[in-house]
Structure formats: C-alpha cells, structure tokens
Amino acid sequence: MPSSTIVHAAVFAVGALVGGGVATAVSARSRRDMLPPVPAQGAPAPPVIHVKPGQGTQMQTAPGQVMKVDTSVLKYGNPGPIADILVRRAYVAGYDRRLRHPAWTAEHLTLASLGKSKLEPRDASEAGDRSNSQFSEDQSIPAMFRAKLQDYFRSGYDRGHMVPAADAKISQEAMNETFLLTNIAPQVGAGFNRHYWAYLEDWCRRLTSSFSDVYVFTIPLYLPKLEADGKWRVSHEVIGSPPNISVPTHFAKVVLAAKPSSPSTPDVAEISAGAFVLPNAVIPDEAKLESFLVPIDAVERAAGLTLFSDAIKAQSKHICKTTKCEVIVRRFDDAVKGNNRKAISGPK
C-alpha cells in the first residue's frame, strides 16, 4: 500500500486544516480533526491593564479610553491564571496547571549547544548522560497542580519529553532538567514517541548543520474531531488516580532557523520557519514529514499563543524550501533505548 494511503487511512489525524479560510480535506475515511481558522487581520487590540502605585488600576480598552478597575473584588485572592514560566539551563517552558503538562517549551539549538562545534569543543566528561537521569516531580509547582510519577504508572503512555534529553547534553544538570515532569506529556510509545516523534526531534537537531541558530517550540494540542452527528468535539483521555494529567490529541513542532544572508552581511539573518502537527498516535516510518505541515498561524490559533510577530512570519522563508524536510528512520536506536529505558515504578 502506498505510504500516502497509509498516512491518510491510518494515522494522519489532522484531517481538515483551515488556513486563510480555505479548508482542505485530507481523506473522507480519515479521522477528521481541525485546527481553528486563522482570523482576519485588523481585529481589535486586547485591553491593556495599567497598575500605578497610589493611583489604583486602570484599563485602557481603546486609544484614549481609560476606565478605573475596582480591585477590591480580588481582596481575598486573585484566581489567576498563574503562568509558571520555568527557566532551565537548556530550555524555557510554560507549565499548564490545569492539564498538568507543558503548555509550550522553547529551546535554542546550535552546534555548540549540542556539543558538535569544532570552534567550541567541549570536554566529553562534562556532557550529560541520560542513563544518569531519572524522571522526577517538579517541586517548584504546588502539590495540588503537580504532575506525579504515579499518574503515569500503568497508564499505557510514555513519559514523552517536550524538550528531548539529547538536546541538553551541555551538562548533567541540564539533562536532568529535561526529566522533570514539567517537561513531560503523555505520548503513545511504540510508533510515536520512540519512533516518528524521535525522528522529528533528530531532524530539528540536524538543522544546526545548515543554520547557525535553530529555535524550536513544542506545543501539546487538543484539536476537535468531527463526530457522526455533524458536530465538532474535543475528546481526550486523562490519566492518573485520581485522573490528573490530560493526554494531548496532537503535538506541534514549530521551527525558526536563521543563518547569515551572505558572507558580506553576517549580521543580516536569513530566516526560515515552518510548523508541523502530528497526531498522538502510531505513525508509520514511511510517512512524509511534509504531510504534517500546517501554517504557523493555525498552530498559534489552536494553542492560544503568539510564537512570532507578524513581521517575522512575513519575512520568513518556508523551511521546506530552504532545507530538506525529511526524517531519517533510526530503528537501530531501539536496542539502545531499550537498554536505558527505566521501568515506571508503582505508586508509593
């Protein structure tokens, strides 16, 4: 069976994507999920909150229009939402207390950060070794909102890294931080986390051979599915006892890569960018990476995030036009991973 047919019929659950108001159906038989449409330009700007000592709080809803806000309603507590911004040695993450996994992670990859630079050689003894790392709960998160090791016990899902351990070899401390559960989300194991998702992570690292700077955002997504009654619904599993951690339906990798535009203008960057959305499901090795391409705006809309400014997106070239969007299948890594894979211990 051709690989394109396998992708459509078996795994490519992104289904119908809406970009610029035009819907593209992937297959009548495929699972039909949707990224929300990109809104038209010119939408009203959100209100701006100004807090001035001794003058109370003011909200500016439009240029020249300012109203005072009665903050006494929050006298006994402000419910938030609280944004847990976690700054690590190799990455930055935003943690979602409700879903109990990262809302997003961001990393900056270079040859030097990956220990592959000939100009900045690194002592091999200082590099991180994943066999010395263990998954652990993040004590910086309040216990009520913390993802716990026992939540993954017999869940049927891998503890999937949003920032891969292989991206944090600069030190053992940096690698250990990728094993904090604030960098983890439930992922299908065989066929996804241990295979195609790992191939995509490797592709991101290999971009450093062509670009001087590679910025990678990883974003768990919850996309709606068209049901038999004609209505769109978001349905996902929750693992743990009691149920605590939500299982994303999809994961996005959004990449921005930069390099000098020419030897004579090293300070002027040529930027390439692209976004990929993969279903949290088994994906065959022969699936084409480009089949998972989506507009960056669509990911931002689905996640409720602004990753790049309109100016950056407008000046960026398409990543698949400036480099090959092809993964390398590395099934031989299974034996290595199998030897290093630690069993999930039972709840204590």
Alpha helices (runs of H) in 81-216, residue ranges in sequence order: 172-177, 196-206
Backbone conformation region of residue 77, classed left if phi is above 0, alpha if psi is from -120 to 50, else beta: left
Backbone conformation region of residue 153, classed left if phi is above 0, alpha if psi is from -120 to 50, else beta: beta
State the catalytic residue, choosing from 8, 101, 161, 250. Answer: 161
CB count within 10 Å of CB 341 equals: 12
Q: Which amino acid is at 171?
A: S
What are 318's two structure tokens?
A: 């398409």
Residues across the chain: 348
- How far is 307 from 318, CA to CA, in rounded Å? 16
* Nearest CA-CA partner of 148 in 104, 190, 192, 101: 101
Per the annotation, the verdict on 195 as an active-site residue is: no
Q: Which amino acid is at 75?
A: K
- How far is 4 from 26, CA to CA, in rounded Å? 10
- Buried-state track 113-131, b at ≥16 Cβ within 10 A, e below 16: bbbeeeeeebeeeeebebe
287 class by beta-carbon count within 10 Å (0-12 exposed, 13-18 middle, 19+ buried): buried
Backbone conformation region of residue 189, classed left if phi is above 0, alpha if psi is from -120 to 50, else beta: alpha
Question: Which residues partner with 233 through β-bridges?
Answer: 225
Roughly how many angstroms between the first and final C-alpha of the chain, as a whole number?
A: 47
Residue 78 marked as a ligand binder: no
Catalytic positions: 161
Binding-site residues, in ranges, read 193
Binding-site residues for Mg(2+), in ranges, read 193
